């Protein structure tokens, strides 16, 4: 039938046996997501349209994560508006301080997304859930409002790019480096409104956390979504987190792709994206002495437990440089508990880091880590645009958690092997 994974999911949700790239369809939604920044706008649009109902109180997720705990009066008013709406409409999946986490880590952890789902979210990094074999994509707040009311959304069916992965990653290399490598190769518009479909024998060598990270940053290549095939790892993760039954879709052998890229994972190196684009990538053979002022390890991209294990391997028995403010931000309350119970939180504090409540915080220049003029930050986040983390003359460098931790110790961009060897 010549359909990709994305086409098959969209076809199933639109009640069609076949859809072609470029086709406009109306599709049924499995989940509609909003946060404390985008939900107030969607709620206002919902009110303006005089919508009366919510299509399914169990299929809306409202996560207060960007400016929480509330950083100022405006943030407090925004979250108050969402709280009142959630109470009024009896929204089941409302997550506030004490329960919330960074949305794209929280929803899979809570079992709200499984393979075969169609998810929209008023946040560009909603594409994260493709790691579980779902179609998920970011939308505007008006689409979120319509989705909450009617449980449907219009889509233009994207064409696709296939990434054929082989081999396995080397030490100190992670899914973050894979996606930075790809974005550096194709550019920030290299997959514009396309589906990035990952396949090949190398997929089994990527952890679910690697896949979350890769799909999370598909939008940084301009993609509509990123998606991985469903394998035993996927099914185990879903079984561990959800009571819902996954629906598995596979691309047809003769599915059409605009381009196909072959990537040997063993050839991918630790990669750093320099300011001010995720595509401005360098490997360590091209990196000189770059002093830094701050390190952030967290976010919806790299705030999972495995990320902190990688950082702890570097920081164990060491102190961070006195000139480097080092922020550890677990992405959910469960991950926070995990790093406490495993002793990692103690290790981080003894190393001179701070450990924060779950929040998006400094990733978007929200709070808890804003940069001053001329300062540089190594971050495991997903964007390094001008002024992204504070002053427009500050700089953000994107990297994996091990590189971030090594750089925190030395005070400059550093490969972990400089501290621990190969």
- Give the per-residue pLDDT at 219: 97
Which strand (E) or helix (H) includes residue 327? strand 325-329
DSSP code at position 349: H
pLDDT digits (tens, 9 = 90+) for 185-213: 999 999 999 999 999 999 999 999 999 99
Domain locations along the chain: 5-264, 272-414
pLDDT at residue 422, as a whole number: 67
Mean pLDDT, residues 227-252 taken together:
97
- Residue 342 pLDDT level (bands cut at 50, 70, 90): very high
d(CA 76, CA 30): 29
Whether the per-residue pLDDT at 421 is higher than 80: the answer is no
Answer whether 5-264 and 272-414 agree in fold.
Answer: yes
Please state which CATH number belongs to domain 272-414: 3.30.499.10
Average pLDDT, the chain: 96
* Per-residue confidence (pLDDT) for residue 419, from 0 to 100: 87
Residues 46-83: tens digit of each pLDDT: 999 999 899 999 999 999 999 988 899 999 999 999 99
DSSP3 helix / strand / coil % (the chain, rounded to 5): 40, 20, 45
Provide the pairing of β-strand 118-121 with 31-35.
Answer: parallel
Cα(40)–Cα(63) distance, rounded to whole angstroms? Answer: 12
**Residue among 65, 12, 53, 59 at smallest CA distance from 32:** 59
> What is the pLDDT at residue 383?
93
Sheet containing 354-355: order of strands: 281-283, 271-273, 395-398, 376-379, 294-298, 325-329, 354-355
What span, in angstroms and rounded, lies between the C-alpha atoms of 22 and 400?
A: 35
pLDDT confidence tier of residue 18, bands split at 50, 70 and 90: very high
Whether 175 has a pLDDT exceeding 80, the answer reads: yes
Q: Classify domain 5-264 at the CATH class level.
A: alpha beta
Percent of the chain past pLDDT 70, that is, above it, reads 100
pLDDT digits (tens, 9 = 90+) for 75-133: 999 999 999 999 999 999 999 999 989 999 999 999 999 999 999 999 999 999 999 99
User: What is the distance between the alpha carbons of residues 252 and 194, in angstroms, rounded to a whole number?
Assistant: 17
Q: What is the 3-class SS of 284-297, one letter each residue?
A: HHHCCCCECCEEEE
């Amino acid at each position: 039938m010549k359909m990709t994974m994305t086409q098959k999911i969209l076809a199933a949700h639109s009640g069609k046996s076949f859809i072609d790239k470029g086709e406009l369809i109306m599709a049924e939604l499995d989940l509609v997501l909003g946060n404390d920044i985008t939900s107030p706008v969607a709620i206002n649009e919902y009110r303006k349209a005089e919508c009366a109902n919510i299509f399914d109180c169990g299929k809306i997720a409202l996560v207060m994560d960007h400016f929480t705990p509330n950083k100022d009066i405006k943030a407090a008013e925004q979250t108050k508006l969402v709280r009142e709406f959630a109470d009024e409409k009896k929204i089941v999946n409302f997550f506030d301080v004490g329960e919330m986490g960074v949305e794209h880590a929280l929803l899979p952890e809570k079992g709200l997304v499984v393979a075969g789902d169609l998810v929209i979210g008023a946040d560009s990094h909603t594409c994260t859930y493709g790691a579980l074999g779902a179609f998920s994509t970011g939308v505007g707040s008006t689409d979120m409002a319509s989705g909450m009311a009617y449980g449907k959304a219009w889509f233009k069916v994207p064409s696709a790019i296939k990434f054929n992965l082989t081999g396995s990653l080397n030490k100190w290399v992670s899914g973050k480096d894979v996606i930075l490598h790809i974005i550096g190769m194709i550019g920030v518009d290299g997959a514009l409104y396309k589906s990035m479909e990952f396949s090949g024998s190398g997929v089994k060598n990527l952890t679910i956390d690697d896949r979350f990270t890769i799909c999370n940053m598909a939008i940084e290549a301009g993609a509509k979504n990123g998606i991985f095939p469903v394998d035993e790892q996927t099914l185990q993760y879903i079984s561990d987190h959800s009571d819902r039954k996954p629906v598995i879709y596979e691309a047809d052998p003769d599915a059409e792709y605009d381009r196909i890229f072959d990537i040997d994972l063993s050839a991918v190196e630790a990669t750093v994206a320099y300011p001010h684009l995720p595509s401005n990538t360098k490997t360590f053979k091209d990196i000189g002495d770059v002093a830094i002022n701050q390190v952030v390890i967290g976010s919806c991209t790299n705030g999972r437990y495995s990320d902190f294990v990688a950082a702890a391997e570097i920081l164990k028995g060491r102190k961070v440089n006195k000139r480097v403010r080092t922020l550890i931000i677990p992405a959910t309350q469960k991950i926070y508990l995990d790093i406490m119970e495993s002793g990692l939180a103690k290790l981080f504090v003894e190393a001179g880091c701070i450990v924060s409540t779950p929040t998006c915080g400094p990733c978007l220049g929200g709070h808890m880590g804003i940069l001053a003029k001329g300062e540089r930050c190594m971050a495991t986040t997903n964007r390094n645009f001008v002024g992204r983390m504070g002053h427009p003359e500050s700089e953000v460098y994107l990297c994996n958690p091990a590189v971030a931790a090594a750089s925190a110790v030395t005070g400059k961009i550093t490969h972990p092997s400089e501290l621990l060897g190969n």
